[in-house]
Structure 1
Amino acid sequence: MDRAPDAPAVRDAAGAWTYRELAAHSHAFAAWLRDQGIGRGDRVLLQLPSSREMVAMFHGAARRGAVFVPLNPAMKPFHLRSVVRDAEPKLVIGNAATAEQLRAIADVPVHDLADLWAEVRKGYETGARPEPEPVEPDDLAALIYTSGSTAAPKAVISPHRQVTFATRALTAALGYRPDDVVFCRFPMSWDYGLYKVLMTCAARCAIVLADGESDFVLLKRMRETGVTVVPIVPSLATMIVSLAGRDRREPPPVRMFTNTGAALPPATIDALRAHFPGARVVRQYGQTEAKRITVMPPEEDTERPASVGLPLPGTRVLVLDPEGRPVPTGEVGEIVAVGPHVMGGYWRNAEVTARTFRPDPETGEPRLHTGDYGSLDADGYLYFEGRRDDMFKRKGFRMSTLEIESAAMDIPGVRAAAALPPSDRHDLALFVESDLDAQTLTDELMQRLDHTRMPAVCRVLSEFPFTLHGKNARQELEALLEKDET
C-alpha cells in the first residue's frame, strides 16, 4: 500500500479512507488479533455487511497468517450452525444484528464489531504495527462458502498463491486503472465482492462498498462517487436499466460494466449501452473454485456476442468428452479449467474435492471439472452452453434452460426469467417477473420457441425471488410450483 499512500482506497456510507489509512487500520487490527491469541492458520469468522472496517480486517488477518471466513449477514441460523461447525473458527465477529445469534451457536469468543473497533481505533491512533506473521504461498487466505442446493456447507479453499495470481490476472485482463472508482453492490462473503476489494488494491484504485444501501439511491450514489467500473449480475443490471430509464440527469461516468453469475440478455446489454454512452459491457465466466475462468477482452465487448471470452493469462480452458478426451473445435463438452488460479479444493470434503479437482492424467496438475458445458472456437474463445443442471432432454430433444430463459427475456416487459427443467415432480416450467398476463406471455413465447421447448407451465410473478448473491432462487420457485400442484 506504499505505492500510493494518499490515493483514495475504500469508501462506504459512513466515510472514506486513503491507502495510508487503510494500511494503518489493518496493522491495528492485526495487533488486536495478536492480543486475542490469533495466529497462523486460525480461522476468523465474520458475519458482517461490507464496510471499510471489514476491508481492513481482511488485510489485518492476512498479516497474522489467519484465515478470513466471511459469511453473508443474511445467513439464517439453520445454515449458520452447519457453517460454524464446519469452519471451526477460533474467533467470531458479528455486529448488533448478528452477534447474538452467533453467540447462541459458536462455542468460541464472539466479539461485537462496535466494541472491538474501539480497541482497534486506539491501536490506530498509537501507530500499532506488529511484526507480520510469516505466511507461505500455500497457506490459506480465506474460506469462501458457496451457495449450493443442499444444506451441507461447502467452502472453497483459497490459498494465498491462487488468490494472488487470480487477483493480478483478472486486474490485468479487465484493465483496471489507478483512476478507476469501482462500485460494488456485492458482499465480501461472495467471491465477486471480495475480489473487487483485492483487485482495486492491486490497481491502487478506489472501491465504493454499497451492498447495504437502498436500491432507490443507486444512481445517486454512483453519480456522487464518480464510478467508472460497475460489477453486475443480471438482476442488478435490470435494476440499473430501470432506474436510468426514469432519470433525466447526466449519467455517472461508467466506462465498463462487468457481468457474471448468469448471461445478460441482449436487450439488457443494449439498454446499458444506451443509458451509459461509451460504456463497455464485459462478459465473463467463472466459478469460485477458480475465481474467474474466462474474460471477454474489454475492447472486444461487441464482438462474438455469444462468447464469454478467453482464458485468463497463464491459464488454459479444455472442453472434454465424458471419457476426458478433448472434443473437436465447436463441439460441446465439459468445461475444464487448468492453471495457477485453480483453488485448493473443498475444506474438509475429500470426496467432493476428488470428484471436482482431478489431476491431469499426464502431468498430475490439478484440473477443475466445472460440471458446466460449452465449446471453444478456432481462436480459443469459450461459448457457455449451460450448467449440468440446466441441460436436459425433453420429447427426444436435448436442450437447456438458458434457451427458454433467453426467449422469455426477449419479450418486452419481462424483467427476469427462470426455467425449471423437467423432473419426476413436474414438466418444464417457466417463471417470469413481469406485468404481463400469463396468456400474453404464452402467446409471445410461442412466437419464439418450437413446441418441444414450450414450457408446460408459465407463471407470472410481480416480484422475483433471488438468492443472497442476486441469482434466481430456484429452490423457492420449485416450492411455489409444488405448492400449486397440491
Structure 2
Amino acid sequence: MRYTFADVMAAQANRFGDKPYLVWDIGQDAPRSLSFAGFHRAAGVVATFLHRLGVQQGDHVVAAVSNSPEMVVLYGAVTYLGAVVVPVNPGLAPEEMRYVIDHAEAKVVVADPVVLRALRQRGGLPRMAYWIPAVDDTEVVVEAGAEAEILRDAEAGAGPAGGCPHESPEGAGLTNAIRTVIERNELDDDLPPGADPETTAMILYTSGTTGRPKGAMLSHQGVLRTGQAICDFLGSTPEERILNLLPMTHCFSICVEILHALLSGGTLYLRSGRFAPRAVLGEIARHRITFICGVPSIFMVLNEALDRREFDVSSLRVGLVGGAPVPVETVREFEGKTGIIIVEGYGQTELSPLASLQPPHPDKRRLGSCGVPIPGTEVRIVDRAGHDVPVGETGELLVRGFNVMKGYWKQPEETAAAIEPDGWLHTGDVFRQDADGYLYMVDRLKDVIIYGGYNIYPKEVESVLYQHPAVEEAYVVGASDPLKGEVPVAFVRLDSGSDAKAVQPELEALCRQHLADYKRPRRYLFVDDFPRTPSGKVLRRELRERA
C-alpha cells in the first residue's frame, strides 16, 4: 500500500460517487450532507483557492478550526496539494497558538474567527502570508508580507492589504471561497501533481518535556496505513455510520473517525458544540450509528446517562477506547448496557497515532490489554540498558514500522533521542507482553499527565506558575480522577512574606492567561518544603501520592 491522500480521495469518489461521506447539522430536522464525489470536488476547490494564494508542495498550512465540514475539507485540500497541514486546537491560549504558528513557519493560517480576534487582542497576529477565517465573518485576514491586520468588509471584495500580489476570492472566508470557485467553475488544471507517499502530510504538535510543544511529522503512508489497519481490525464496511465525538485537530479523530469513514466508504456524522451525553445517545438512536470512539471519560459519562434514561442504541456494532488507560469496569458496564464490544488500543501522536489494537471478537479480546501490534509494525520491550526482557516482564515499549513519525520538525536532537538509527521509537511507556503477543500498559516513564486523552506536561504549567514573584518552587503532578483519568494538581512553596490565600487567585489568573483550560491546575496545595532524594531532587511520586 503506497498512496497519498489525493489518491484515496479520487479512488473513493469514483467508487462511492453520491453516497454520503459527511453529514452535519445532525440535530436539525434536515441534516446536510456531502457525498464522496462532492468531498473530492470540494477539496479540489479549496486546493485551487490555496494554490492561488501561493501555497506549494511542502508549504505549511495551520488549521485552527472547530469540528465542522470545513475542517474535513481543509485536510483534503492541503494534502491534495502536497502541502502540509498543521492542525491546532482552537482552544489553545493565544500565547500557545502563537508559538505553534511561528515554530511551524506557516504560510497560511485557517482559523475560527474567534481565534483571530483573540490573537489580535493579545499581542497582535504573527507575521505570515495569509490569514483566512474558517467560516464567513465580518472580520477576516487576507494580508501578505507586512504586519498582518484584520480587514473588514470582505463581502465588498476587499483584497489583500499592503500591495499583496495575490488576489483572493470575494469574502475571503473558506466557505465563501468554496462557493465562489464552484460558481465560477474555476478548478485549476495546473495544480501540483501531488506528493510522494513518504513525504510529510501533517505536523501534529505534542507537548515536550521541556514544556514547549514538539511537531511530530507524519507521512501520507503512515497515517493512511494506520487508518486502513483500523478498518481491517474492526471489519468496517460501507455500511459503517461513525459518530464524531473527538476534536478533529487530534490525531485520534483524524485516523479513527475521518479516515475510518473515508477508507471504509462509511459515513461520518459530525457533532458540534459541547459534549452532552444524552444528546449523543439520542443521535446514536436517531441516525442508527454503528461505531463510536473516545477517551475513557466519554464512556463513563455515557454509562451514567444510560442509568438515568433508556435509549435505543441497538444499531451500535463496536466501540473503540484510547487516549488513556481505561478501567475494565467501565468497559464491562458499557458492554452490559449496550450489548456491543469495546476494544482498546495503544498509540501516541508519534505513531500516526496507533501501534496496537484489540480484535473485536469475544474469543480474541483480552480485557485490560491494549491488543496486538497492527500489521506492518514490530514491538520490543527493553530494560534500561536496551536489552529485550523475557516474556511477561516489564520494560519500555519500543515500536518500529510504517507508523513511526519522520521526526520532530526543526528539532533534530529531540528526534535523535526518540528514534534509534535503526528505526525503533522510544515510547517512554512501560509495558509487558504475554506469550500470545498481547500488550499490557503498566505505567509511564515520563511525568506526563493524561487528562481525558490530552497530554499535560508539568514543566509547561510550572513555567507559568514561576512567573508569579511570590513562587519559590512549584511542581505539578497528576491526581487520579474517576472521569478524566488524571487532573493536574500544583504543589507550591511561597516566599516567607506571602499569604497563600491571596496568591492562589493570582496564580489561577496567570494560568487562565497562558494555558488552555485542560492544562490548568484543579487544586493548589501550599507547602513549606518538598520530599527529596539525597541529591536534592524532588520526589514527584510522593507528591502524586499526596495529591
TM-score of the superposition, structure 1-length normalised? 0.79
Show the counterpart of 1:87.
104
Q: CA offsets per residue over residues 30-65 of structure 1, 9 Å max, x none? A: 110111111101111121102111111111111111
Match of 1:188 among 208, 224, 248: 248
| Segment of structure 1 superposing worse, 327-336 or 155-164 | 155-164
Cα contact 1:200–1:206 (8 A) shared by 2: yes
Inter-partner Cα distance in structure 1 for 2:474 and 2:363:
41
Match of 1:106 among 117, 120, 126: 126
Inter-partner Cα distance in structure 1 for 2:477 and 2:37:
55
Letter in 2 for 1:116: L
Inter-partner Cα distance in structure 2 for 1:312 and 1:92:
34
Inter-partner Cα distance in structure 1 for 2:203 and 2:18:
31
Match of 1:144 among 204, 211, 232: 204
Q: How far off its partner does 1:430 sit?
A: 4.6
Cα contact 2:68–2:272 (8 A) shared by 1: no
Match of 1:197 among 252, 258, 261: 258
Show the counterpart of 1:123.
181
Q: CA offsets per residue over residues 295-339 of structure 1, 9 Å max, x none? A: 011114774223211000111111111222211111111101111
SS in 1 for 2:521: helix
Show the counterpart of 2:335.
273
Inter-partner Cα distance in structure 2 for 1:48 and 1:140:
21
2:348 is equivalent to residue 287 of structure 1: yes
Inter-partner Cα distance in structure 2 for 1:430 and 1:48:
31
- In the superposition, relative to structure 1, how do residues 3 and 322 fare at CA in structure 2: closer, same or farther (>3 Å)? same
2:219 is equivalent to residue 159 of structure 1: yes
Q: RMSD over aligned Cα, in angstroms? A: 2.9
Aligned-pair identity in percent equals 27
Show the counterpart of 2:305.
243
2:366 is equivalent to residue 304 of structure 1: yes
2:268 is equivalent to residue 207 of structure 1: yes
SS in 2 for 1:133: coil
Cα contact 1:28–1:127 (8 A) shared by 2: no
Show the counterpart of 1:24.
41
Cα contact 2:81–2:192 (8 A) shared by 1: yes
Q: How far off its partner does 1:91 sit?
A: 0.8
1:84-483 mapped onto 2 (5 Å cutoff): 84-102=101-119, 104-108=124-128, 109-113=130-134, 114=136, 115-131=173-189, 132-134=191-193, 135-148=195-208, 151-195=211-255, 196-210=257-271, 212-215=273-276, 216-251=278-313, 253-277=315-339, 279-290=340-351, 291-300=353-362, 303-360=365-422, 366-389=423-446, 430-432=479-481, 476-477=521-522, 480-483=523-526
Q: CA offsets per residue over residues 154-201 of structure 1, 9 Å max, x none? A: 111012122222222222122222101111211121101111211211
Stretches of structure 1 lacking an aligned partner (at least 5 in a row): 361-365, 392-400, 406-417, 435-470
Show the counterpart of 1:462.
none
SS in 1 for 2:192: coil
SS in 1 for 2:440: strand
Inter-partner Cα distance in structure 1 for 2:235 and 2:421:
32
Inter-partner Cα distance in structure 1 for 2:519 and 2:178:
42
Cα contact 1:39–1:133 (8 A) shared by 2: yes
| Segment of structure 1 superposing worse, 424-433 or 190-199 | 424-433
Inter-partner Cα distance in structure 2 for 1:118 and 1:428:
46
Q: CA offsets per residue over residues 238-265 of structure 1, 9 Å max, x none? A: 1111112122232251111101011221
Cα contact 2:447–2:477 (8 A) shared by 1: no
Cα contact 2:382–2:395 (8 A) shared by 1: yes
Inter-partner Cα distance in structure 2 for 1:2 and 1:126:
23
Inter-partner Cα distance in structure 1 for 2:56 and 2:331:
46
Cα contact 1:25–1:56 (8 A) shared by 2: yes
Inter-partner Cα distance in structure 2 for 1:133 and 1:111:
22
Alignment size in residue pairs: 416
SS in 2 for 1:177: coil
- In the superposition, relative to structure 1, how do residues 425 and 63 fare at CA in structure 2: closer, same or farther (>3 Å)? closer
SS in 2 for 1:384: strand
